[in-house]
């Protein structure tokens, strides 16, 4: 029997000693102080998160969680719901955009079925396996009813923590990715519920529904928030937010963020959907916030509000709105470079010692 309550795992505090040691090393490297800009700050931050004075990113992983959404029947997406299932197969066959990007940046991809409609998707022979963490066969229509039961919301969060502790245990950096037709509507509703932002400010065109479609999405989000009485900021239970207006993949990714943080593994936030999951994780356990790292500035309007609420400054802006973890995967290269320069560069003292050895 599924539980009605969720207990986030204990998350270690930022290691100030490791960060200070990393900063001292940065100051001693053979370069003008601050000349590597944000790469220096990122390396110091990862040192404090991992507790390692010279951290490396040698085993990055993108986790892609997929699920369906009943709200899609209200015309909030330009695509039919069966595209979620089709894309899950594409991830398994390594045919998706994030598959190509992950290959370029040297990252593994873990694909998770959190609640895709229909029978479980099998893994093609020779392709990546699909992790079965199905909580249900898609959510209910969040505009009319709670998206899921409270036990199912807890189950999704627990599945994410479990995924972090098992399938992502060997990763030293995890990027959050997702797939689910209709999930930008759920993400907008969750963002409005957690931050108190007006639905019109956090709801975008998603898959490209145009002005009329966007207006329909805003109305759906407003109706969902009114139905669930989630409009007043600060007066809600995060699990209730997930239950009423979330999605199974959103809950799972929030759990992944919490589980990774508990293991001192930094988490890279992608676009507006994984951003909503990050907001949920932060609402459940504020200690997770330092472990949430930025990637890009997403094209969806709600993403900027999410980043502001989480105190995240994006690394780049490529006008991305695909999801899948594509922007977070691209950011992996930056985090790898930040740690590699921090670890491999010589210090001024090293150069001086080498020069003396040559002279001798």
On average, the pLDDT of the chain sits at 94
Phi first, then psi: what are they for 107, rounded to 5°? -115, 145
pLDDT tens digit sequence for 32-51 = 999 999 999 999 999 999 99
Give yes or no for a contact between 112 and 131, defined as CB atoms under 8 angstroms apart: yes
Residue 131's pLDDT band (boundaries 50, 70, 90)? Answer: very high
Residue 194: Cβ within 10 Å count: 23
Q: Which CATH class is domain 57-332?
A: alpha beta
Q: At what angle do helices 150-166 and 238-245 cross, to 10 degrees?
A: 110
C-alpha–C-alpha distance, residues 318 and 296, integer Å: 7
34, two tokens? 């601050």
pLDDT at 121 over 80: no
pLDDT at 192 over 60: yes
Give yes or no for a contact between 64 and 110, defined as CB atoms under 8 angstroms apart: yes
51 vs 134, 172, 274, CA distance in Å?
34, 12, 25
247, two tokens? 């999605």
Catalytic residues: 324
Pairing of strands 108-115, 267-268: unpaired
pLDDT at 332 over 90: yes
164, two tokens? 């972090």
Percent of the chain with pLDDT over 90: 87
pLDDT at 83 over 80: yes
Any idea what DSSP says for residue 52? Answer: -
């Amino acid at each position: 029997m599924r539980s009605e309550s969720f207990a986030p795992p204990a998350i270690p505090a930022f290691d100030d000693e490791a960060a200070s040691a990393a900063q001292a090393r940065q100051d001693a490297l053979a370069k003008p102080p601050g000349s590597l800009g944000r790469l220096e700050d990122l390396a110091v931050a990862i040192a404090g998160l991992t507790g390692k004075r010279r951290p490396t990113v040698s085993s990055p992983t993108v986790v892609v969680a997929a699920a369906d959404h009943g709200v899609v029947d209200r015309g909030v997406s330009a695509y039919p719901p069966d595209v979620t299932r089709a894309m899950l197969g594409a991830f398994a066959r390594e045919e998706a955009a994030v598959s190509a990007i992950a290959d370029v940046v040297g990252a593994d991809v873990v694909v998770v079925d959190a609640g895709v409609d229909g029978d479980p998707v099998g893994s093609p022979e020779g392709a990546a396996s699909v992790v079965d963490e199905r909580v249900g066969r898609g959510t209910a229509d969040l505009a009319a009813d709670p998206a899921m039961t409270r036990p199912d919301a807890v189950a999704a969060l627990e599945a994410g923590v479990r995924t972090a502790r098992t399938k992502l245990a060997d990763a030293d950096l995890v990027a959050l990715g997702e797939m689910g037709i209709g999930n930008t509507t759920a993400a907008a509703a969750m963002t409005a519920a957690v931050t108190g932002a007006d639905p019109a400010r956090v709801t975008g065109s998603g898959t490209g529904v145009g002005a009329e479609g966007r207006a329909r999405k805003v109305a759906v989000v407003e109706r969902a928030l009114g139905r669930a009485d989630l409009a007043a900021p600060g007066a809600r239970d995060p699990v209730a937010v997930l239950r009423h207006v979330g999605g199974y993949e959103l809950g799972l990714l929030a759990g992944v963020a919490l589980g990774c943080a508990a293991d001192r593994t930094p988490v890279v936030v992608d676009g507006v959907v994984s951003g909503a999951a990050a907001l949920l994780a932060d609402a459940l356990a504020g200690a997770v916030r330092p472990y949430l790292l930025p990637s890009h500035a997403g094209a969806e309007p709600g993403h900027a509000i999410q980043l502001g609420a989480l105190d995240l400054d994006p690394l780049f802006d490529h006008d991305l709105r695909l999801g899948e973890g594509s922007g977070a995967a691209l950011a992996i290269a930056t985090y790898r470079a930040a740690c590699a320069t921090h670890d491999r560069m010589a210090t001024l003292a090293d150069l001086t010692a080498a020069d003396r050895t040559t002279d001798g």
